[in-house]
Amino acid sequence: MTSQKSSLTALTVGAIGVVYGDIGTSVLYSIKEVFGSGHVPFTPDNVYGILSIFFWTLTIIVSLKYVTLVLRADNNGEGGLIAMLALASTAVQDRPDLRRLLLLVGIFGTSLFYGDGVITPAISVLSAVEGLEVVSPTFAKGVVPITLVILFGLFSLQKHGTAGIGKFFGPITIVWFGVLAVLGISQIVTHPTILWAVSPHYALRFMWENPGITFIILGAVVLCVTGAEALYADLGHFGKKPIRLAWFSVVMPSLVLNYFGQGALLLNNPEAVKNPFFLMAPAWALLPLVGLATLATVIASQALITGAFSVTKQAIQMGYLPRFRIQHTSEHDTGPIYMPLVNWGLFVTIVLAVVMFRSSSNLAAAYGIAVCTDMLITTVLTFYVIRYGWKYPLALCFAATSVFLVVDFAFFASNLMKLFAGGWFPLVIGGVVFTLMITWKEGRQILNDKLRADALDLPSFLDAVFLSPPQRVEGTAVFMTAEPGIVPNAMLHNLKHNKVLHAQNLFVTVRNHEVPWIGEDKRLEIEPLGHECWEVIVHYGFKNDLDLPQALELVKAHGCELEPMMTSYFLSRDTVIPTIGSGMAAWREKLFAQMHHNASGAADFLNLPNNSVVELGSKIEI
């Protein structure tokens, strides 16, 4: 019992550090953007109304939608938009047109994650460093350079892994939330009646009296729930109970106290609207607070960078992106990974965002539209999961999701007004990633169809070969093939040039599935083809780590003994030649050919031993 409590405590502390870093730093800029926009007349009634809208936004979107409903939609214990997409697509697999549409919508939402991944570190670290301007206006010119130095340091550390610093995330973030609460309380005691803003009637009255202003400011109000998607995405790391416990016991109370404290400060001193968060602190605490805020934003950014690695790996295994080089950063745990291309691609785009927008207020105009689109997509996918996956009555499914759909759409529509003020930026990033993903998926399908059309039937080919068999040499040959039942190009080349056949031959196809995990008991399908030849299909979930030699150890149970030092892996390294025809548009075929050329080798991706790999190339026209 004590062990379980200890484990729950550790997981809850970890969840506070990783899951809530982003939403925990939104206090730096949310209130400032709403009141600093100039749209809200500064009156006590309006302050109460806005704080009430903040409180009920947190309650409806985070507490009810994500913590209560969406966390229930786990895919074998895993969460996140890709896990939700897999659940929804499986639930409607008997409706192919609907399934195809949901896959497109879900992949677009996943693409927008990268847009969010650029804006979050930029706005978070900028807003923390801007606290120096409150200390002294002379620091204003140093805000952007200091921000870029901090971000460069953060991205440079990624290749070393985060295991060493990760254990400090939880405690530092707990200190951060404690400081948020203390700062809020210090102002609330000067104006305790501000706590009445928890009553929904203040929010409803403000919206009734100011419908136009309400619609406009929703684009800034949504900043208080950015990071809510992380609740669901990190489900597999921490579990539902720690995430829920962390939210209701620490995170939400601290956020509400801080927002209400900022409101109390504004009632006492309207001039504080230029940076209400930092102006809540006494002068002696400003520099330490800037330092702590910077640490908190770095932690929030780290969680998002780690998430980008994880999402990219899942997208690769689901067949939506080419293979990237993946480095494992821990000797003991397969989870922590580093992707150089993703890491430095994110960094360059974040630098571009910081240099283009130059302040957190300008970035706030770009922030929100990607987040709101993802929240809307999550609600839509949730409906299909609970209706077709869980088989709940239609009326109940509408009741459970319609309120969230209306709220999400209101925030989404409001954020569309920021489209030309910067909202285009994350959408362009998402659009580029979406184009790459769909082009790769369709290109791979065309390529596989072409290979299948030109391929020879494997059983028939083997029968013909063994009528007059070539010389057989010791050891095992593992031939990788995209489709089972067809002759791999690598085998044809090997027979043509080397004129030998190994004593044992495995024809291996790797299949990735729309489930997070597939256990070892379901890892292999094996079919004997005679003459010491076997056809093997290896199954992986999108969160499994691919290790083909380890998986092939399971063939021993079927009478095939693999000696690692006597096993060679034969891979086909195909060169794609775009041609004018019935495939994709010419520019997409050229893009696919370039992506195919630049994809990292299958040997690294499948964890094959470098000294046992033989690659044989061929050209394929699509």
Average pLDDT over residues 201-229: 91
Q: What are phi and psi of 4, to 5 degrees?
A: -65, -40
Would you say residue 6 has pLDDT above 60? no
In 3D, which of 606, 595, 599, 600 has the Cα closest to residue 443?
595
Which pLDDT value is given to residue 4?
53
Q: Which two tokens stand for residue 433?
A: 């990633």
| Contact (Cβ atoms closer than 8 angstroms) between residue 244 and residue 12 | no
Strands 327-328 and 337-338, by their bridges, are antiparallel
Cα torsion angle, 30, 31, 33, 39, sign: positive
Order the strands of the 613-621 sheet from edge to edge.
524-530, 533-541, 500-513, 471-480, 567-577, 613-621
Q: Give the model's pLDDT for residue 247.
A: 94
Q: Is the pLDDT of residue 433 over 90?
A: yes
Residue 62 to residues 70, 268, 375: CA-CA distances in angstroms? 10, 30, 11
Least confident of 52-61, 155-164, 308-317: 155-164
Question: Could you report the per-residue pLDDT of 252-304, keeping only the tens digit for each?
Answer: 999 999 999 999 999 999 888 888 999 999 989 999 999 999 999 988 888 88
Helix (H) or strand (E) holding 237: helix 235-238
Q: Provide CB contacts within 8 A for 154, sequence distance 6+.
A: 121, 298, 301, 302, 305
Q: Residue 155 is encoded by which pair of tokens? A: 């991205």
Q: Phi/psi zone of residue 161: left (φ > 0), alpha (ψ -120 to 50 degrees), beta?
A: left
Residue whose pair of structure tokens reads 């207020």 in the numeric block: 361
What is the pLDDT, as a whole number, of residue 206? 94
* Distance from the Cα of residue 617 to its chain's centroid: 34
DSSP string across 580-605:
SSSSS-HHHHHHHHHHHHHSPPHHHH
* Res 471 pLDDT > 50: yes
By residue count, the chain amounts to: 622
Confidence (pLDDT) at 2:
43
Q: Is the pLDDT of residue 545 over 80?
A: yes
Do the Cβ atoms of 220 and 421 come closer than 8 Å?
no
d(CA 314, CA 293): 32
Distance of alpha carbon 240 from the chain centroid: 18
DSSP code, position 545: P
> What stretch of H or E contains 326?
none
Question: How many distinct helices (H) and strands (E) make up the chain?
Answer: 27, 8
Q: Cα separation of 88 and 83, whole Å? A: 9
* 140 pLDDT higher than 90: no
Distance CA 53, CA 210 (A): 13
> Residue range 441-454: average pLDDT?
83
Q: Residue 418 gets which letter from DSSP? A: T
For the cut 60, the answer to whether the pLDDT of residue 549 exceeds it is yes
Give the mean pLDDT of 39-52. Answer: 90
What span, in angstroms and rounded, lies between the C-alpha atoms of 373 and 109? 7
What pLDDT sits at residue 166? 62
| pLDDT 10s digits, 46-74 | 999 999 999 999 999 999 999 998 888 88
pLDDT greater at residue 327 or residue 118 = 118
Q: How many alpha carbons lie under 13 Å from residue 293 in its C-beta half-sphere? A: 27
- DSSP H stretches of helix in 189-210: 200-209
State residue 199's pLDDT score: 95
Query: Is-contact 125 115, C-beta < 8 A?
Result: no
Crossing angle (nearest 10°) for helices 44-57 and 200-209 = 120
Question: Are 622 and 579 spatial neighbours (Cβ–Cβ below 8 Å)?
Answer: yes
Mean pLDDT of the region 247-254 = 95
User: pLDDT-based confidence at 314, cuts 50/70/90?
Assistant: confident
243 neighbors 71 (Cβ within 8 angstroms)? yes
Q: Which residues of 371-401 are buried (b: 16+ CB within 10 A; e: fewer)?
A: bbbbbbbbbbbbbbbbbbbeeeeeeebeebb
582 has pLDDT over 70? no
568 Cβ contact partners less than 8 Å away, ≥ 6 residues apart:
475, 476, 477, 478, 502, 612, 613, 614
Q: Compute CA distances 239 → 76, 78, 81, 231, 619, whole Å.
A: 11, 9, 16, 10, 47
Average pLDDT over residues 487-512: 87
Of the chain, the end-to-end C-alpha distance in Å amounts to: 61
Identify the CA nearest to 433 among candidates 116, 16, 66. Answer: 116
Statement: residue 536 has pLDDT above 90: yes
Cα–Cα distance between 138 and 148 in angstroms, integer? 18
Helices (H), 417-564: 424-454, 458-465, 489-498, 548-552
Residues 243, 117: Cα–Cα separation, whole Å: 21
DSSP letter assigned to residue 359: S
Please state the pTM of the whole predicted model: 0.85
Whether 569 and 612 have beta carbons less than 8 Å apart is answered as: yes
- 194 with 263: CB under 8 angstroms? yes
Reply yes or no on whether the pLDDT at 190 is more than 80.
yes
Whole-number average pLDDT of the chain: 87
Whether pLDDT at 390 is above 80:
yes
The percent of residues above 90 in pLDDT, for the chain, comes to 36
Question: Using 50, 70 and 90 to split pLDDT, how confident is the model at 1?
Answer: very low
Tally of CB atoms within 10 A around 608:
21
User: How would you classify the pairing of strands 524-530 and 500-513?
Assistant: unpaired
**Lowest mean pLDDT across 2-6, 284-288, 367-371, 452-456:** 2-6
Average pLDDT over residues 501-506: 90
Which 8-state DSSP code applies to residue 559? T
Q: What is the CATH number of domain 11-422?
A: 1.20.1740.10
pLDDT of 123-132, one tens digit each? 889 989 988 8
What is d(CA 4, CA 1) in angstroms, rounded to the nearest whole number? 5
Mean pLDDT of 580-605: 82
Residue 489: pLDDT band with limits 50, 70, 90: confident
C-beta separation of 232 from 71 below 8 A: yes
Query: What ranges do the domains of the chain cover?
Result: 11-422, 448-621
The average pLDDT across 1-7 equals 53
More confident residue, 309 or 579: 309
